[in-house]
Amino acid sequence: MSSEHLSGLDPEHGDAGSPPSFPRLDAEGMPAGSVGADDAEDDAARQDPGPSLLLPGLVTVLGLVLLTQQLVELIRMVPAPGQPRPMNGPVLAAALALGGFSLTRLLQLLGFVTGRRRREAAGETLREVPWQLEDAHSLHAVWVIAVGASIALMGLLGLWSLLDGQPSGLEPGWPLLLAGGAVALVGRLAWQRTTAGWTDHGEGR
């Protein structure tokens, strides 16, 4: 047996015991310095990012502030004997905190795609948008409709307790029922119109 085989070396393949080497990847998962990574960065720079998330975030913060205020007042309140604490304010504040972001974002996307249609009709060349932006309105619309349905359900419970004669704090019920129905309706209409706007561009799903 030769000394080369005793030392673990293969004269044709080099050191058999050395670990395999892998290319270094960048933050996008592409080989560092590769042409594909540069193309991906160029594509991202050319895409239209859409409306800012600042306004929906501010609406959520407002909802959280109002919810905190309502809960503090609810805890400090001393209702009359046999009377429940009023729950209409906390329900609406919670709905704003939980659904305000999605409702605002949905309306933003509706305005965004409507503006794109007008600019396209005027002959303006439009930048491409990320596919996530094209699908985002559907997710937000489903959540808005769910929040609206929850508000309406609280309103139905308030009507039931009002007719039953056993107060629950949700009375009279019809304001919550109307508010929840309006939120769900706005969510549904905005969903349809935004989808139609993307479809007219040949971009929607």
Question: HEC states along the chain?
Answer: CCHHHHCCEECCCEECCCCCCCCCECCCCCECCCHHHHHHHHHHHHCCCCCCCHHHHHHHHHHHHHHHHHHHHHHHCCCCCCCCCCCHHHHHHHHHHHHHHHHHHHHHHHHHHHHHHHHHHCCCCCCCCCHHHHHHHHHHHHHHHHHHHHHHHHHHHHHHHHHHCCCCCCCCCHHHHHHHHHHHHHHHHHHHHHHHHHHHHCCCC
Taking all residues of the chain, what is their mean pLDDT, rounded to a whole number? 83
- Is residue 167 situated within a structural domain? yes
* pLDDT for 9: 46
Total tally of structural domains belonging to the chain = 1
Scan for tokens 């019809």, then name that residue.
174
* pLDDT for 35: 45
pLDDT tens, position by position, 88-111:
999 999 999 999 999 999 999 999
Structure tokens at 22: 């892998």
CA distance 134 to 109: 9
Confidence class for position 205, pLDDT limits 50, 70, 90: very low
* pLDDT for 159: 94
pLDDT above 80 (res 3):
no
Question: Bigger pLDDT: 161 or 127?
Answer: 161
Confidence class for position 194, pLDDT limits 50, 70, 90: very high
Q: What percent of the chain has pLDDT over 70?
A: 76
- Is residue 193 situated within a structural domain? yes
- Is residue 26 situated within a structural domain? no
* pLDDT for 46: 72
Average pLDDT over residues 39-67: 83
- Is residue 38 situated within a structural domain? no
Q: What domain range is 178 assigned to?
A: 56-73+84-201
- Is residue 100 situated within a structural domain? yes
Question: Bigger pLDDT: 170 or 38?
Answer: 170
pLDDT above 50 (res 40):
no
- Is residue 105 situated within a structural domain? yes
Which of 48, 28, 23 minimizes the C-alpha distance to 38? 28
* pLDDT for 81: 86
* pLDDT for 173: 93
CA distance 117 to 199: 11
- Is residue 42 situated within a structural domain? no
- Is residue 30 situated within a structural domain? no
- Please state which of the ranges 46-55, 70-79, 166-175 shows the lowest mean pLDDT: 46-55
* pLDDT for 133: 86
